[in-house]
Copies of this chain bind each other. A is one copy, B any other.
Amino acid sequence: MAFEPPASVEPKPETAQKPLRADARRNRDRLVEVAASIFAERGIDASLEEIARQAGVGIGTLYRHFPTREHLVEVVYRREVEALCAAAGELAGKHASDVALEEWMRRFVDYIATKRGLSTSLRILLTTNSTLFSDTSGRVSQALRQLVEAAVADGTIRGDVDASDVLHALGGIYSAPDTPEWRDRSRRLVKLLMDGLRFGAGKSTSA
């Protein structure tokens, strides 16, 4: 028996906002940075007053920039997804392409790990705010595609897979139950996956 009012929280058409005043910009950035670290450490329900305090601003300032906890969480979340995706490019420039892919997946696991504890609130956010979901998952799969295609192109992984296969293979990471062994299990999954991907690479192993 579920019904829904027009979830009015979300559909902000991204009003192009005029540049903030210098001090405002500074405070805002500071808040996001501190929030990221406090959320990571204490969980998503950490005290907002604590965040304001550590950022060296008043609570009023925090609320002016982020009218609700969800606003702040969303910004932090986007920023982290962005960092993860940006890492794809850097890794690609620094390692052989199969190694880059492997390392990126490892980071992906770590990233998910930090989110698991926070899941209740985060899941609500991702449910309520569908834009957030599609934005970020689109961004992630784009990053993955870049890595997979490079590795396929230079023959360090087999040619008969694409990014969505790999993403699908990583799917188990989300759904796996939240046990203490979760992280190890996920690491093993990544290794396993890489072994499979390297198997017969460069030899057109399409059997």
What does DSSP make chain A's interface, helix, strand, loop or mixed?
Answer: helix
Integer count of this chain's copies in the complex: 2
| Chain A 161-191: CB-based contact to B (< 8 A → 1; otherwise 0) | 0000000000000110111100000000000
Q: Which residue of B3, B6, B174 is within 8 Å of A115 (Cβ)?
A: B3
Q: How long is the Cα–Cα vector from A36 to B149 in the complex, in angstroms?
A: 58
CB distance from A36 to the nearest CB of B (A): 13
CB-based nearest B residue for A112: B3
Q: Which residue of B1, B124, B137 is within 8 Å of A1 (Cβ)?
A: B137
Q: How long is the Cα–Cα vector from A139 to B66 in the complex, in angstroms?
A: 42
Say whether B2 contacts A123, CB under 8 Å.
yes
Say whether A114 contacts B1, CB under 8 Å.
yes
Q: Which residue of B5, B119, B177 is within 8 Å of A119 (Cβ)?
A: B5
- Residues of chain A from 96 to 150 with CB closer than 8 A to chain B in the complex: 110, 112-120, 122-124, 126-128, 133, 136-137, 140
CB distance from A112 to the nearest CB of B (A): 7
Please name the 7 residue pairs, one residue from A and one from B, whose CB atoms are nearest each other, closest first: A4-B117, A5-B178, A3-B174, A2-B117, A3-B117, A2-B126, A1-B114
